[in-house]
């Protein structure tokens, strides 16, 4: 093959490549969607924040959730938000950001823990106006752990302690549990065989005051509708925006 | 970044060689996000739908497993809508 031919071949190939690179969505779908007055966020798997996790992890990404929460609070047709949780925890900052967004939303919010709402899922579970947990769902409360090589033990300890404090404060402020009780559950040695912490199953989470009620999707939707009606009944200036 | 999770970090960040990395994209289609995976040269399969509107999950066009065709689009400066 002469040099010229080779060059020509290369050009052809790169043209094809750039065509492939230009693949864009086509065929925009125009679907007459029935508008629901209640929107639903599902928080599943790992809560992914500042670092993209390897693809084998099922993740809920904060860059998806945060704009959705803004859109939900802006859209006049949406009257309430149901948050379904089945999460193993994840990034602290992302989790707290989502929890703060839900807590400060101006529309009625209800959370429902199904399966599990562990670790950083706990502040999200308590962030709503009213929280539910399924009878069989569990919530694992444990300390934030440090991993890898630790240089400067007192400083690192202080840093982790502060992170822990942010989580504890949020949970205590948004649920009926006291700080002492929450910390007691977190550092309990009696509940887990190989670790420090407590695994709360359904009703237990309600007994400790972490969650408001045991229930499923039916009771959660009913409660949300009740909160919506309550807010609608009040004159604008008297509406409590939590 | 601090992870607060019940999954051991070795598992979260462990090597991921078992599964070949397929080309995955997140598309914005009619206001919803679709996570798609390439199944043939001009064909993508819907893996996941991301939307807060519950009725989107009843829309058969967005059902996971559905194949969507995508073709190269040649534009000259302007993006057609």
User: How many domains is chain B built from?
Assistant: 1
Lowest average pLDDT, out of A157-161, A222-226, B14-18, goes to: B14-18
- In the stretch 31-50 of chain A, residues with CB closer than 8 A to chain B read 31, 33-36, 38-41, 46, 49-50
Residues 6+ apart with CB under 8 A from B61: A29, A31
Output the pTM of the full model.
Answer: 0.78
Residues 6+ apart with CB under 8 A from A194: none
pLDDT the model gives residue B27: 86
pLDDT the model gives residue A22: 43
Distance CA A163, CA B10 (A): 21
Residue of A nearest to B5 (CA): A89
Q: What are phi and psi of A182, to 5 degrees?
A: -65, -45
Q: Say yes or no: A4 contacts chain B, CB-CB below 8 A.
A: no
Residues 6+ apart with CB under 8 A from A128: A81, A83, A102, A103, A109, A110, A111
The verdict on a CB contact (< 8 Å) between A88 and B5 is: yes
* Domain containing residue B30: 19-69
The verdict on a CB contact (< 8 Å) between A41 and B52 is: yes
Q: What are phi and psi of A189, to 5 degrees?
A: -105, -5
- pLDDT digit string, tens, across residues A172-230: 999 999 999 999 998 888 777 677 889 999 999 999 999 999 999 999 999 999 999 98
Residue A211 near residue A203, CB atoms below 8 Å:
no
- In the stretch 93-152 of chain A, residues with CB closer than 8 A to chain B read 93, 95, 118-120, 140, 142, 144, 147
Residues of B in contact with A50 (CB under 8 A): 1
Q: What is the CA radius of gyration of chain B?
A: 17
Please say whether the structural domain A38-49+56-238 has been given the CATH code 3.40.50.2020: no
Q: What are phi and psi of A20, to 5 degrees?
A: -65, -40
């Amino acid at each position: 093959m002469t040099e010229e031919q080779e060059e020509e071949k290369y050009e052809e190939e790169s043209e094809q490549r750039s065509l492939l690179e230009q693949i864009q969505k086509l065929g925009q779908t125009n679907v007459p969607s029935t508008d629901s007055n209640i929107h639903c966020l599902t928080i599943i798997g790992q809560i992914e924040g500042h670092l993209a996790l390897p693809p084998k992890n099922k993740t809920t990404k904060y860059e998806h959730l945060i704009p959705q929460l803004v859109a939900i609070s802006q859209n006049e047709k949406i009257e309430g938000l149901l948050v379904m949780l089945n999460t193993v925890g994840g990034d602290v900052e992302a989790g707290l950001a989502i929890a703060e967004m839900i807590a400060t939303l101006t529309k009625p919010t209800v959370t429902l823990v199904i399966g599990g709402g562990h670790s950083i899922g706990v502040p999200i579970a308590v962030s709503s106006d009213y929280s539910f947990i399924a009878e069989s769902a569990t919530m694992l409360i444990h300390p934030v752990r440090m991993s890898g090589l630790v240089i400067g033990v007192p400083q690192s300890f202080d840093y982790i302690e502060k992170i822990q404090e942010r989580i504890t404060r949020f949970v205590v402020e948004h649920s009926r549990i006291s700080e002492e009780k929450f910390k007691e559950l977190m550092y309990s040695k009696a509940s887990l065989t190989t670790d420090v912490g407590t695994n709360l199953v359904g009703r237990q989470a309600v007994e400790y005051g972490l969650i408001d009620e045991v229930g499923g999707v039916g009771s959660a939707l009913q409660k949300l509708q009740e909160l919506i009606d309550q807010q609608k009944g009040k004159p604008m200036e008297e509406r409590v925006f939590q | 970044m601090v992870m607060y999770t019940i999954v051991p970090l070795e598992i979260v960040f462990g090597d991921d060689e078992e599964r070949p990395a397929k080309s995955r994209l997140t598309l914005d289609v009619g206001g919803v996000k679709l996570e798609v995976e390439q199944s043939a040269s001009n064909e993508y399969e819907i893996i996941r739908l991301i939307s807060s509107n519950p009725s989107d999950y009843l829309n058969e066009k967005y059902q996971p497993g559905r194949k969507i065709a995508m073709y190269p689009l040649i534009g000259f400066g302007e993006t057609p809508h």
